[in-house]
Amino acid sequence: MSLQLDNVTLSVRGETYIDNACLTLEPGSFNVLLGHTLAGKTTLMRLMAGLDMPDRGTVRLGGRDMTHVPVRQRNVSMVYQQFINYPTLTVFDNIASPLKQAKVSRQEIARRVEETAEMLGIQHLLGRYPQELSGGQQQRTAMARALVKDADLVLFDEPLVNLDYKLREALRVEMRKLFESRHTIAVYATTEPAEALALGGTTTLLHQGRIVQSGPSDEVYRHPCNREAASLFGEPPINLMSMTIQGDECRIADLRQPRPDVWRSLPAGEYQVGIRPHHWSLQPLDEPAFRLPVVVRVAEISGSETFLHLSHDRIDLVAHLIGIHEFDVDQALEMQVACRQLFVFEPDGDLVLSPSSPRPTLASV
């Protein structure tokens, strides 16, 4: 059964937390809520679950109006950032707790607990207590307790944020597989664009309580509806520069160059161009490219990547380079980007032209 939000709005003490949210989530779908801290992700999930009631609008599940139905009367599960397990219960009893509350038979409880534990690779831990588990095992236990109910709606509020990198990667893969054969609606909140792409499914961008865009994750990334969506779905955020097109010439920032063929369809006028940090290159490109002299402000090396913080005529920019690159502060460089990889936005922020690039990967966010 689908979940539908129609013009859902929530205000607290005069401050709008969720503003006119409209969203439809289909059964069997995996849905990511992506936005900065305090964007409204947790609040929106609480409204979906029935933990909070909206001031206006309706929440429907399977066509039934659930707007004012309390959470106890809904078939909903939720997993939080913290490892919320009952310390005095074994892993088996932690997972079984919602089934016992629902008065499911002992045989059915045993079958479903063992089946769910096996899916999450913790069947050998059923006799242990939470304090005997690692962080990843504790979170798997919390996830198993949410999944064992076969809920209509399962909500994940940044459940992997407290785990180390390898555990997060492993659990992301497992989560996608867990929901491939289920008719449950899964909703996963995150602040990380790379995580949204890794999880796949659909992504809904939230900013200050408003839904900015929603759709298949890679499509939202490649074709953001506006400048705001492009900035939200990328880390570091997209670089923005002013552009004027006139005749056969275009001016980006203070630099003039011939108008490339990929922009022939654009009318003369004022625009903004957006450049993803990973599209910058230090090497000459054998295709129409925009070249920009810059000065290095900071070279930040992170593992096998380098984030260059640059400036051009008081414009701050960021470049994401694969590999370890060392530069001096105030060193002069010339950065290049293929014209076909530039986003073009109207002055009001609406998207005019998307890059013609392959499907994004984690390294390209």
Residue 322's nearest CA partner among 301, 340, 293 is 301
Which pLDDT value is given to residue 302? Answer: 87
Percent of the chain topping pLDDT 90? 71
Q: Which of residues 179 and 59 earns the better pLDDT score?
A: 59
The predicted pLDDT at position 173 comes to 79
pLDDT in tens, 211-222: 999 999 999 999
Q: Which domains does the chain have, with CATH numbers?
A: 3-231 (3.40.50.300), 236-355 (2.40.50.140)
For range 127-131, the mean pLDDT: 95
Rounded mean pLDDT of 192-210?
A: 94
The string of pLDDT tens digits covering residues 344-359 is 999 999 999 998 644 4
Q: pTM for this one?
A: 0.88
pLDDT, residue 365, reads 54
For residue 91, is pLDDT > 80?
A: yes
Average pLDDT in the 170-176 region? Answer: 78
Distance CA 97, CA 155 (A): 18
Task: Report the pLDDT averaged over residues 14-36.
Answer: 94
